[in-house]
Structure 1
């Protein structure tokens, strides 16, 4: 009996100790450690591991680096050069198994992938930080879409002071890419930090930003709808076949009815990345009186050969109507190695051949969030001037 009692007490003590550890934090291993010169050290404790590597977008070629084992089974890798200012993602690979950094609680989901993140500060990357400036409000709310016959969720940013100002604000509709949702621009895109900082610096006008779910068959982001805890995927129905574009006026009507907006073309902008750029292109030409500012970030351009929708018919005719109404800004941006570069080049030729004015912005790199954060920070200051 005494042995049983002793074992019970030992288990109870260990459970309490574990609970306290969970409550007050775990070990003291620092990873990543960002040094003053912007080199970064990654650490992982794995005494029995044979091989530990780190992978992430801070690496180029090769895209994986080996950690070296040190005392007490702590593996370590320090970047040989300082990292340029940016928000970076990374993961560890331990004996062939990819996993997050247990010493870094900051994780972001990109479709079905979880990645740790850190910010190497300075320059443009300071826009991605939460700085000591007035902050806007981020709301998740539901709206009725009569066109789609369902209730759907969106994310809305209102600038600092909106609640008490009594003023009307222009609205920027910001759309995500394939596999994304209404959370993507807030998490991966750092949109709220970029808006807060640009507005506080006087580089952008205070505006409402509406981030919708561009997957017309879904109510909301994975795990946030009546479907339950379904696995995220890029293979979704009703994404680029016209449904979302046809239903977009439902979003505009809801925002105009529930927020203090500037209810005309000069007070509206639309932009998006990849699939969201595709949506922005086709929504803006389908409804040429809705948006005075259009941004295409690494945009898909042409509908699939088997896609049949009134939204995509008579594309050149609709573009002629749109540009005859003289949008204040038509902005196209893409990376030099983006797989959609040729499609964008062909589309720009179509615009050039018809003498339609636009602004073009090109960066290094490909189809990556690093570019899309840059594009957002460049595009926002040009709006509503």
Structure 2
């Protein structure tokens, strides 16, 4: 039996597939959310005609204090949405400063992403939608019409941890065509993060592309490691498979990462055209990564000319047995005596680590160790860490 299909049938099938594709793209909703208004206020919308309450939570709202086992944090604020006759809930913010912001909806107590916003970022085990308000520092986080670098994920051998490990590496525009040797910034994440944190949440490639294009930063390679030496790679990127990320992993702050960090340096200096000397190396990190940067730079005291501590988790490690933390004052003095070009410290005024950073600066003052200090508004948040990266990078390799 011959199958006969009319032209009309084919057209109907094509039209149906096209409609389905459009529904998949827009989540079946013809709603704009978020909508950035002319005064930089932002309107959010959520279709939930049967919901009793819809709230929005995000870092653009006045912060709420959250008590955790690590201290008191500035958490994202909350606001109520209003429902119209069509069951569309909406909320319009105050005019916002230029920045990158994250948010989620809470529908009858259940957290939801925005079905009308496809731009999302993972932070540890939380997924939030993001948007950027331009006209200021937010422009630095946007993709601009400038030459772009490359971002690759590489696997390197770590004999000190007896495993292959994954690292994210940014190479600047023109690296592939050039024969030049480039300086390297080793950029470390905080607790719960991994080798994806800085490139996604920190907007590292956009910041570097834009600063280099503006002539404010030297072309450099940026190496974003995984500071959890118990992991081969970020969740879902290793043979361990798909699993829920968590904040606390073995060997995160016990000296193992600091001790074996030379495995990363050896891989980079073997695999890339780099300036393999102290003058061509910088290290910086946020929170736990700041802790790691502090200890790596003093444990290997003649390795880095540039050190950046972003909201560094400077805390006692008296109960940890590791040769890395022995002779702290002596190794810090050796680092100072060996010479360096920049020791940079940044902290938010309401950061729960503010006092420990103040105490550490007093120690540096007492021993005559010079540093640059930057104090910002806000607490232990990515808004600050993107600022710190944007201000730290132009000071490097001059």
2:243 to 215, 222, 230: 230
What is the root-mean-square deviation in Å for CA atoms of aligned residues? 1.6
The residue aligned with 1:127 is 140
Cα offset, 1:71, TM superposition: 2.8
The residue aligned with 1:64 is 78
Distance in 1, Cα, partners of 2:281 & 2:21: 51
| Cα distance change of structure 1 residues 162 and 16 upon mapping to structure 2, 3 Å threshold | closer
Distance in 1, Cα, partners of 2:165 & 2:59: 33
Deviates more, 1:28-37 or 1:17-26: 17-26
The residue aligned with 1:265 is 278
| Cα distance change of structure 1 residues 67 and 226 upon mapping to structure 2, 3 Å threshold | same
In 2, are the aligned partners of 1:57 and 1:88 still within 8 Å (CA)?
yes
The residue aligned with 1:20 is 21
In 1, are the aligned partners of 2:317 and 2:325 still within 8 Å (CA)?
no
Unaligned runs of 5+ in 2: 1-12, 65-76
In 2, are the aligned partners of 1:136 and 1:192 still within 8 Å (CA)?
yes
**Deviations 1:352-380, CA, capped at 9 Å, x for gaps:** 00111111000010000000000000000
Equivalences, count: 373
Pair 1:357-2:381 in alignment: no
Cα offset, 1:27, TM superposition: 2.1
The residue aligned with 1:93 is 106
The residue aligned with 2:57 is 55
Unaligned runs of 5+ in 1: 1-11
Cα offset, 1:230, TM superposition: 1.4
Cα offset, 1:23, TM superposition: 4.9
Partner of 1:163: helix, strand, or coil? coil
The residue aligned with 1:199 is 212
Partner of 2:160: helix, strand, or coil? coil
Distance in 2, Cα, partners of 1:178 & 1:119: 25
Cα offset, 1:122, TM superposition: 1.3
2:91 to 72, 77, 81: 77
TM-score by length of 1: 0.94
Distance in 2, Cα, partners of 1:146 & 1:316: 29
1:145 to 158, 180, 191: 158
| Cα distance change of structure 1 residues 88 and 24 upon mapping to structure 2, 3 Å threshold | closer
The residue aligned with 2:315 is 302
Distance in 1, Cα, partners of 2:275 & 2:18: 57
Distance in 2, Cα, partners of 1:116 & 1:38: 18
TM-score by length of 2: 0.91
**Deviations 1:22-65, CA, capped at 9 Å, x for gaps:** 45543220000001110100000011111111110000056211
Pair 1:160-2:162 in alignment: no
1:275 to 256, 274, 288: 288
Distance in 2, Cα, partners of 1:216 & 1:31: 39
Distance in 2, Cα, partners of 1:188 & 1:315: 32
Distance in 2, Cα, partners of 1:24 & 1:320: 58
Cα offset, 1:15, TM superposition: 9.0
Cα offset, 1:89, TM superposition: 0.4
Distance in 2, Cα, partners of 1:153 & 1:61: 35
| Cα distance change of structure 1 residues 24 and 309 upon mapping to structure 2, 3 Å threshold | closer
**Deviations 1:313-351, CA, capped at 9 Å, x for gaps:** 000000010000111000000000101111101100100
